[in-house]
Structure formats: structure tokens, C-alpha cells
Amino acid sequence: MKSKILLVIIMLTSPLVWSHKSSDSFVNLQINGNTITGRWDIALRDLEYALALDIDNDGAITWSELRNRYQEIENYAFTRLQVNQGPGECIREPGLLQIDHHSDGAYAVINFDLICSSLVDKLNVEYHLLFDLDPTHRGLVQINHGTSSEFVIFSPEKQQANIDFNPSSQWQTFVQFLKEGVWHIWIGYDHILFLLCLLLPSVVSRTPTGWVQNTSFTNTLGQVGKIITAFTLAHSITLLLGVLQIVSLPSRLIESTIAFSVMMVAANNLYPFFRERAWFVAFVFGLIHGFGFASVLTDLDLTTANVGVSLLGFNLGVEIGQLAIVSVYLPMAYLLRSYWFYQRIVLYAGSQAIMLLAFVWFMQRAFDLSIYNA
């Protein structure tokens, strides 16, 4: 009993409890001659974390609080973003502050112009916003030059890029979004826990007297293959529908349902109601998870020319990321399946802990239990 209480305390104090869409900011640079018109969208929740904008601590960031701190926000942001034309400098002229809503909430929009000394044919960009506070943060920069677009994804490992405007490389765009897909699944704790809850009972079988170990790795691998295939097919369908904006669902509904899906598959390991239809459950809930994956790309202004390669790279990255998780988990679980601590601790207690965590996520997302509102 004490161990279960301790487990609950650990789960509730873990940063995973307050899981949201991964932290991103979006920079759009439009080049016209020697002028660069810029727009930078930064999530209010990230600015609150960095600058404590909610002065009166009333649980909401008002327009007045944001406007009064605009100079501080600008100073904070532009000490972490530098854009220059090769060896030449570009002078920044400040613009208006606005508010926009992305799939995961309210964003401050910083408008600006950069006046460069000559026609812009290459850029040096340095980006290190929030990396000291949140190593999972990503800066997604789109640069438009004539009819071509370049994408750069900045991370703690990649904080600088030199860009010239030769015809854009589709391969480079593909590789960038491939890496982003792998990264997204690895930091998508709700997606990982959903998958793991489906896989936890894959190495054992339920009997009237309890769990017994599976005796055939081939059969186990076949069951896992059905689950992964169903999940992949489902989220690939809705990722496509979401990115192409054929189907659009409210972010709160998507994120709440994802949390609910984790809670349900964890509960099924304790009180079976799906029985032997794990692949079907993976497919049905995978449709919702696909819309969650799509939110990463829908916040980008993808053009017709690059949406296909970006979508393909991102989706393939997600598949590689989840296969890497399965390839590590499955052999270990199969080797440990006969031990009591796998069945009692990993499977049973682990499912209890995940169900509790998912319930917290569901309540947080469904009822918008957050201070980052505008």
C-alpha cells in the first residue's frame, strides 16, 4: 500500500502531469529586395514562463498586461534571435503587437521589419529562444524569397543556420521534418503511454486465474505488429486530413480525447472490456492521435510545393520514432514476462499509475485548467 501511495505522489509531482503540445515558436520572414518583413509568434504560456506576465496573478494574461510589457517582451525575444545578411547587418524596425490563436492556445505576434544594406541573397540566422528554460522547445523558421521557401528548425543542438537562396532542396526539407517527426513522438508522452499501455499485456495472456506468460515470441510479435499497423494506418489518415485542413477539430477536443484514450487503455489492462481487440482500439483512438500530430504542421504556413514532402518526412519520422520505442521495449518485456514484478509492478501497478496520470491530463485539458489564457 505504501509503495502505491509513493507512486501516486511521484506521478503527481512529475512534470509529465502538466503535459501540453510541445513548445514551438513560429518565425516567418518575407524577403523583398533589401527589406525583410518578419512575424514572430510566441506562445503566451512560454512568455509567462520566462517573464511572469500575469502581474496580478488572476490566472489570465490580459491585453493590458501584455501591451504594458511589450518592450520587455521585444528585448527578451530579440536578444535570442539575430538575422543578418551575410557579413552585412540588418537594422530592425519594430512593428505592432498582436494576438493570434494557434491550435494549442494564444500567441503573442511580434511584427517587425529588417532593413538591410543591400539586396538580400543570403541570411545568417541565430535562434536560441527558451533553450535555457525548455530543452524541448523548437523554433520553426520559414523564409520566403520570391517563389521559393526555406524551412529551418532550430533546437538546442542547432542554433545557427546559413541560408542562401538557390533552388530549395526538397531533400533537406524532408530530412528536417523527418527529424522533427522522430523528436515529436519521443517527447509526446501521451502518445508513448498510449502505445505502451497497448503493449504491456502483449507478452502475457489473461486467464481466469490471472496472467500467464506467452510461450511464442513469433505470436507475440504478430500481435504487436497488428497493433502498430493499426495505429500507424489510423494516425496517418487523420494526419493527412488535418494538415490539408479537410477535417478540422477543436484543439481542446483533440487533446482531451487523447488523454481519455490513454486512460481507457490503461484501465483495460486492469478491468478488461476490450478483450482481445487491441488492434481495433489502436485504430479507433489512433484516428484522434493523428489530429494531435497534425497540429505541429498546421501551425506552419506550408505552401503547396512543400506540404507533400514535409508531410511525408514528418509522418515517416513518427513511424521511425515509435518503432524505435517498440524495438527497445518488446525484447525486454518478453525476457521479463515470467517474473512476478513484470505482472504485478510493470503491468498492474504501471497501468494504475498511467490511468491516474491520464485522468489528470483529461481534467486539465477538458476544463482548461491552465493560467495561460488571454
Q: Tens of pLDDT along 145-195?
A: 877 778 889 999 999 998 877 655 677 788 888 988 998 888 888 999 999
Do the beta carbons of residue 347 and residue 269 sit within 8 Å?
yes
CA 287-106-157 angle, 5° bins: 75
Q: Where are the domains of the chain?
A: 22-168, 178-366
Query: Do residues 44 and 61 touch, judged by C-beta distance below 8 A?
Result: yes
* Long-range CB contact pairs, 249-253, < 8 A, 24+: 249/291, 251/21, 251/103, 251/104, 251/105, 251/295, 252/365, 252/366, 252/368
| Percent of the chain predicted with pLDDT > 70 | 89
Close Cβ partners of 115 (under 8 Å, ≥ 6 residues apart): 34, 35, 90, 91, 93
Question: Which amino acid does the sequence have at 133?
Answer: L
CA 233 to chain centre: 19
Q: Please check the confidence at residue 10 and state whether its pLDDT lies above 70.
A: no
| 208 grid coordinates | 481466469
Give Cα separations from 367 to 54, 194, 201, 361, 370 (angstroms): 20, 21, 32, 10, 9
Provide the grid cell at 226: 497488428
Fold of the CATH domain 178-366:
Growth Hormone; Chain: A; (1.20.1250)
Position 21 scores a pLDDT of: 60
Helix (H, G, I), strand (E, B) or coil at 137: coil
> What mean pLDDT comes out for the span 218-238?
93
Contact 165, 145 (CB under 8 A): yes
The average confidence (pLDDT) of the chain is: 86
Query: Which residues does 195 contact at the CB level (< 8 Å), separation at least 6?
Result: 231, 322, 325, 326
Q: What angle do CA 138, 139, 142 make, to 5 degrees?
A: 140
- Give the pLDDT confidence score for residue 302 in this predicted structure: 66
Mean pLDDT for 301-308 is 68
DSSP E strands in 120-253: the ranges are 122-127, 138-145, 148-154, 160-164, 204-207, 210-213
In tens, the pLDDT along 54-89 reads 888 877 888 999 999 999 999 999 999 999 887 678
* CA 296 to each of CA 147, 184, 318: distance values in angstroms, whole numbers, following the listed order: 24, 9, 12
User: pLDDT by residue (tens digit) across 80-118?
Assistant: 999 988 767 889 999 999 999 887 788 999 999 999 988
Structural element, H or E, at residue 114? strand 105-116
pLDDT, residue 1, reads 47
Q: State the pairing for strand pair 204-207/138-145.
A: unpaired
Closest-CA residue to 154 (of 176, 121, 134, 175):
176
Q: Are 298 and 307 in contact (CB under 8 A)?
A: no
Measured from the Cβ of residue 289, the count of other Cβ atoms closer than 10 Å reads 27
Q: What is the pLDDT of residues 311-353, one digit of tens each?
A: 999 999 999 999 999 999 999 999 999 888 898 999 999 999 9
In terms of DSSP bridges, do strands 24-32 and 138-145 run parallel, antiparallel, or are they unpaired? parallel
**204, pLDDT greater than 60:** yes
* Beta carbons of 362 and 288 less than 8 angstroms apart: no
Q: In the predicted model, what is the mean pLDDT of residues 31-47?
A: 93
Ranked by mean pLDDT, the top range of 7-21, 67-81, 204-218 is 67-81
Q: For residue 149, what are the CA distances in angstroms to 92, 166, 306?
A: 22, 10, 8
Residues 6+ apart with CB under 8 A from 312: 174, 177
The residue type at 93: E
Burial 319-352 (b: 16+ CB within 10 A, else e): bebbeebbeebbeebbeebeeeebbeebbebbbb
Contact call for residues 223 and 206 (beta carbons, < 8 A): no
